[in-house]
């Protein structure tokens, strides 16, 4: 990390999160690390606090009621652009993370917050803050002119290194003829050239993909991306030393000397990480679907048995009905025929419902929030899992409050959460046991909670803080990849809900899903 990050600055952070517990815990950790911390319980209050205190760094949750984290980021970047903003997202919120990076967020960290990841994000934010501050001062010097003494100072290598070479962003400086005079270390790392290959040897157009020179010149001559003679965050494409395209976001300013154009200064941010996140978003959808397929794989054997038994019964009844028809229908045989037909119809309907639930669960569909009856949702999960539970010698006990209201959720994803938790409970009880599936309503909160409680082996205290982390698993190799609970965590975050865990070795485990309520009409 560059030395200038540790300059004698009183670093002040505004922390914005609607959960009081998170604000308290993070404030203590940040103050222990030497930061001054102010907190706000919502986006609107956070923006006002930033306008009053002018902190260097803001850490904001993305999912908040009212003004969310993206709106906070957008307002701050428009009104207080010097502030660096770090956003907190869930494991599944890749799409929102990408949008935050597009709005020039300094960095992002995923919940649950890891201390090392937070420290690294803060170091990057401080480095960006200082780099932009120094670049602003340097540009001001270039635009306004300087004394001979200042020119000599600017020519000093150590001073240039402090201002330019340590910048986390790439910096390109061109003279009036567009020949490159400044090409900092970040640009060297980004494009793979040595400084001697570029400075005084190449023109700006040599580093730009086809058509980009024209776009940049047009942007500098209009107010399309900021004021005239400036570019504020425009996406472009550079070429590296192997002529491979590098997606970037640039800010630029035309330099003047006594009223005449004297060159251009360009600040470059590498977007390859952002593009990686975009690919990860697509992968996230595949991960969620893969998690469903793994659940279906676990259900396959039990579902075959569950469907095979009623189908065998239907086949027998149909054979009996065929014999009755061949012998002729008397009044007594007609009554039997009608009884067999009713039984066959009921069994086929049961098979149809099982298959329908499985097809609905496995289908890859877009997110759709709608009012959902919790009792019906739990009944559907019971139908899918019932036979597997019986095969594992596990008793499922269901208790749903009679006055429980509807919740606004995506049925398919919440069903996926509950089934994941049931499967975790099954894995924790290899010799059988009991699962309590409860749904309760707290009218004072108001909130609905779904509890999945088992009598299994429990979770060790050292493992409990990590159970929601992606790819963390306590299962033997081949029995889990550690995506189930992180998927549940991401889905609940996306629903503005919470997932909690209570466990102790030998005393079983309870997972609790908390939802905001939607009153029945």
Q: Do 65 and 78 belong together in one domain?
A: yes
Q: Would you state the pLDDT for residue 107?
A: 81
Cα 96 from Cα 391, distance rounded (Å): 42
Last-in-domain residue among 300, 335, 364: 364
Structure tokens at 265: 């200064």
pTM (predicted TM-score):
0.42
Q: Do 305 and 294 belong together in one domain?
A: yes
Domain annotation covers residue 137: no
Q: Do 205 and 108 belong together in one domain?
A: no
Cα 446 from Cα 520, distance rounded (Å): 13
Q: Do 393 and 331 belong together in one domain?
A: no
Domain annotation covers residue 376: yes
Structure tokens at 310: 């009623």
Nearest to 381, CA basis, from 418, 342, 431: 418
Q: Degrees (nearest 5) of the Cα angle 495, 381, 366?
A: 40
Q: Degrees (nearest 5) of the Cα angle 125, 130, 136?
A: 125
Q: Do 316 and 353 belong together in one domain?
A: yes
Cα 344 from Cα 276, distance rounded (Å): 54
DSSP state of 518: B
Q: Would you state the pLDDT for residue 271?
A: 86
User: Where residue 37 sits, what CATH number does that domain have?
Assistant: 3.40.50.2300
Residues in the chain: 521
Q: Do 373 and 487 belong together in one domain?
A: yes
Domain annotation covers residue 154: no
Give the three-class secondary structure for 36: strand
Q: Would you state the pLDDT for residue 263?
A: 87
Q: Would you state the pLDDT for residue 191?
A: 94
Q: Do 509 and 446 belong together in one domain?
A: yes
Helices (H) and strands (E) in the chain, counts: 15, 17
Structural contact between residues 414 and 494, judged by C-beta atoms closer than 8 angstroms: no
Q: Would you state the pLDDT for residue 135?
A: 73
Domain annotation covers residue 106: yes
Range of the domain at 473: 368-521
Q: Do 385 and 509 belong together in one domain?
A: yes
Q: Would you state the pLDDT for residue 392?
A: 85
Domain annotation covers residue 431: yes
User: Where residue 350 sits, what CATH number does that domain have?
Assistant: 1.10.287
Domain annotation covers residue 382: yes
Domain count, the chain: 4
Q: What ranges in 38-93 are assigned the alpha helix state H?
A: 43-53, 69-79
User: Mean pLDDT for each consecutive 10-residue tract of the chain (521 residues)?
Assistant: 53 92 88 92 94 94 88 92 88 66 80 81 87 72 53 51 70 88 89 91 93 91 85 90 91 83 87 73 56 57 57 73 79 79 76 62 63 91 79 91 91 84 89 94 91 93 79 50 65 85 92 77 37
Last-in-domain residue among 364, 385, 402: 364
Last-in-domain residue among 107, 129, 151: 129
Q: Do 374 and 521 belong together in one domain?
A: yes
Q: Do 91 and 177 belong together in one domain?
A: no
Structural contact between residues 274 and 296, judged by C-beta atoms closer than 8 angstroms: no
Q: Would you state the pLDDT for residue 479?
A: 42
What strand order describes the sheet that includes 260-270?
180-183, 170-175, 260-270, 245-257, 230-239
């Amino acid at each position: 990390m560059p030395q200038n990050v540790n300059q004698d600055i009183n670093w002040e952070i505004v922390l914005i999160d609607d959960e009081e517990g998170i604000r308290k815990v993070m404030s203590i950790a940040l103050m222990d690390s030497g930061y001054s911390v102010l907190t706000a319980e919502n986006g609107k209050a956070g923006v006002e606090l930033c306008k009053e205190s002018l902190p260097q760094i803001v850490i904001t949750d993305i999912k908040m009621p009212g003004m969310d984290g993206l709106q906070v980021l957008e307002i701050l970047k428009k009104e207080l652009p010097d502030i660096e903003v770090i956003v907190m997202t869930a494991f599944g919120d890749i799409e929102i993370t990408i949008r935050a990076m597009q709005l020039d967020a300094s960095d992002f960290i995923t919940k649950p917050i890891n201390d090392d990841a937070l420290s690294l994000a803060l170091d990057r934010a401080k480095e960006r803050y200082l780099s932009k501050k120094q670049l602003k001062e340097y540009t001001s010097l270039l635009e306004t002119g300087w004394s001979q003494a200042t020119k000599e100072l600017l020519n000093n290598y150590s001073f240039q290194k402090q201002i330019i070479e340590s910048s986390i962003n790439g910096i390109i400086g061109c003279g009036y003829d567009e020949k490159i005079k400044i090409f900092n270390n970040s640009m060297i790392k980004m494009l793979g050239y040595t400084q001697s290959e570029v400075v005084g040897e190449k023109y700006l157009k040599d580093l730009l993909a086809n058509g980009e020179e024209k776009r940049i010149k047009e942007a500098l001559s209009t107010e399309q991306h900021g004021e005239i003679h400036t570019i504020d965050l425009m996406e472009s494409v550079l070429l590296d030393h192997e002529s491979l395209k590098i997606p970037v976001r640039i800010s630029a300013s035309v330099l003047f000397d006594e009223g005449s154009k004297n060159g251009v200064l360009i600040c470059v941010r590498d977007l390859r990480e952002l593009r990686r996140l975009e690919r990860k978003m697509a992968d996230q959808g595949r991960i969620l679907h893969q998690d469903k397929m793994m659940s279906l794989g676990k259900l396959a054997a039990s579902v075959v048995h569950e469907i095979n038994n009623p189908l065998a019964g239907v086949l027998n009844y149909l054979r009996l009905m065929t014999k009755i028809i061949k012998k002729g229908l008397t009044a007594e045989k007609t009554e039997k025929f009608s009884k067999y037909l009713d039984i066959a119809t009921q069994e086929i309907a049961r098979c149809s419902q099982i298959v329908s639930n499985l097809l609905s669960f496995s289908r890859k569909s877009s997110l759709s929030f709608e009012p959902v009856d919790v009792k019906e949702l739990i009944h559907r999960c019971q139908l899918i899992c019932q036979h597997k539970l019986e095969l594992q010698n596990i008793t499922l006990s269901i208790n749903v409050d009679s006055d429980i209201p509807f919740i606004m959720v995506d049925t398919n994803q919440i069903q996926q959460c509950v089934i994941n938790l049931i499967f975790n409970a099954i894995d924790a009880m290899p010799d059988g046991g009991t699962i309590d599936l409860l749904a309760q309503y707290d009218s004072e909160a108001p909130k609905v909670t779904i509890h999945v409680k088992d009598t299994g082996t429990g979770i060790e205290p050292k493992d409990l803080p990590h159970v929601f982390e992606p790819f963390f698993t306590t299962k033997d190799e081949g029995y889990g990849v550690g995506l189930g609970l992180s998927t549940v965590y991401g889905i609940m975050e996306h629903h503005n809900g919470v997932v909690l865990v209570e466990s102790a070795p030998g005393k079983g485990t309870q997972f609790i899903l908390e939802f905001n309520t939607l009153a029945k009409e």
